[in-house]
Structure 1
Amino acid sequence: MEETQRYESFQDGMKACVPTMLGYLGIGFAAGVVEKGVGLSLLEILLLSLLVYAGSGQFIICGLLAIHAPISTIILTVFLVNSRHFLMSLSVTNYFKPYSILNNIGIGTLLTDESYGVLTTALQEKRPLTTHWMHGLNIAAYLTWVLANITGGLLGQFIPDPNRFGLDFALTAMFLGLCLFQVELPLKKRTTQTLQVLMSVCITLIIFMRFTSAEIAVIVATLIGCLVGTVTHDDQ
């Protein structure tokens, strides 16, 4: 009964988000520093973190603004980079199908790589989750990200080179940590299937990155991995 209660309430979702929040403090701060460095005002940093809410997307926007790229290029690039969110949302849509459309819109709107990692890990462990728990997870991460961006913007003028402190690697490090947490349990339970999926994703990435952009290669590799996982699921 204790395990069930831990995954039911809004507060439980916020507790599950604590590791993500700690990571967002560093990543969001770095994003705010970079955003301030390319000339964005605090209001613009606030709106960027509220409306875009994507670490990779915001860093890319700053890079493109720095080279005075046209708005069409910025929009298309950010769309391609973040199009993986379609796949992430689709992979959990059946679980939240019984809930209202408003609940599903709220979950999908604030779903990130990190909250998706926490969610899928809980699902793999057969946790009885609720939308209240998911909203707590998503909203806690969202507010932390916005706060960290603003803080970085306020203090950015005192940190001219965030790379010296390793802040530029924070997003990559956090993603790798979440990836390890996600594959640990499947490797213990379904070693053969998990290895097949990982191998198919890696091989697809290597091949497609020779001929296409990294964003397209990631999307294709994800689709191939999903296909392999679906085909091999019944064989385990």
Structure 2
Amino acid sequence: MQQSQSPPPARGTLWNKALSQTLPITLGYVPVGMAYGVLAGKAGLSAVNVLLMSVLVYAGSAQLVAVGLFAAGASGAAIVATTVAVNLRHVLFSAAMAPLLSGWRKRELAAFAFELTDESFALHAARFGRGDRGKELTLSINVLAQASWVAGTALGVALGDVLGDGRAFALDFALPGMFLALLAGQVGSRSQVAAAVVGAGLSLAACGLGITGFGALAAGLAGAGCGLGVEKWMTRRHL
């Protein structure tokens, strides 16, 4: 039996609610987007191409990696292959989200998938877990998140000469700080703590060994497996 869905909220209320939920992401995206805009401009990309990359690609880590490879003179094939490896974690995102979006139409799924990022995935996973699966709110959150990334990119392009390479402003800390804020709101049970600790620990270890794309994917799978194992163990204890 399908659960009845409440009518969609009024447009103004919808965007206000989306904005309040997207605020932690926005606070991270604007400064990191600025850093990307600065670095891309200094790598030799035109302002139009820098902005188009944020509009059409919209993948922060992939964009930063691509800019670094472009500045180093890497070939197009090398840039594509490397960014695909960096974004392999999206395989995990799709596996987690697919059962929760089974009733969506294909064009809605396409719009959702295009704007899904690490941060919006974390936000939606927490929302869906609470039963908050409103389609319009979900898509509105994604739109606002990308708008903040594009706005940050535009600021970086406009203020590139003033910001230098952006390191003096500690912009590289904004994204990890935002992830920690999102994680803190989701970790509530022992299984979630175990998944977070194991996944983070293995990811840091892989990073220290120079394994980034595949390392993050393996760490995520191991963390999820550990969390599942703890959950099953706790369930058996209470039987």
TM-score greater than 0.5 by the shorter chain: yes
Letter in 2 for 1:96: L
Question: Who is 2:40 aligned against?
Answer: 35
Q: Give yes or no for contact 2:24–2:181 (8 Å, CA) kept in 1.
A: no
Distance 1:75 1:105 in 2: 21
CA deviation map 1:31-53 (0-9, x unaligned): 11111111111111111111221
Q: Which ranges in structure 1 are unaligned for 5 or more consecutive residues?
A: none
Distance 1:145 1:200 in 2: 30
Q: Per the alignment, do residues 129 and 7 of structure 1 end up closer, same or farther by CA in structure 2, a change over 3 Å counting?
A: farther
The equivalent position to 1:175 in structure 2, one of 164, 179, 182, is 179
Q: How many residues align?
A: 226
Question: Who is 2:143 aligned against?
Answer: 139
CA deviation map 1:4-50 (0-9, x unaligned): 88989742323311221222111111111111111111111111111
3-state DSSP of counterpart to 2:173: helix
The equivalent position to 2:75 in structure 1, one of 70, 73, 83, is 70
Matches within 5 A, 1:111-150: 111-124=116-129, 126-150=130-154
Q: Per the alignment, do residues 13 and 206 of structure 1 end up closer, same or farther by CA in structure 2, a change over 3 Å counting?
A: closer
3-state DSSP of counterpart to 2:99: coil
Letter in 1 for 2:82: T
3-state DSSP of counterpart to 1:93: helix
Q: Per the alignment, do residues 195 and 173 of structure 1 end up closer, same or farther by CA in structure 2, a change over 3 Å counting?
A: closer
TM superposition shift of 1:219: 0.5
3-state DSSP of counterpart to 2:101: coil
Q: CA RMSD in A?
A: 2.5
Question: Who is 2:27 aligned against?
Answer: 22
Q: Per the alignment, do residues 34 and 97 of structure 1 end up closer, same or farther by CA in structure 2, a change over 3 Å counting?
A: same
Distance 1:40 1:212 in 2: 27
TM superposition shift of 1:112: 0.9
Question: Who is 2:3 aligned against?
Answer: none
Q: Which moved more, 1:222-231 or 1:103-112?
A: 222-231
Distance 2:205 2:24 in 1: 34
The equivalent position to 2:228 in structure 1, one of 204, 227, 230, is 230
Distance 1:14 1:203 in 2: 32
3-state DSSP of counterpart to 1:17: helix
- Percent identity reads 27
Q: Per the alignment, do residues 32 and 226 of structure 1 end up closer, same or farther by CA in structure 2, a change over 3 Å counting?
A: same
Question: Who is 1:196 aligned against?
Answer: 194
Q: Give yes or no for contact 2:88–2:214 (8 Å, CA) kept in 1.
A: no
TM superposition shift of 1:71: 1.4
Distance 1:36 1:129 in 2: 39
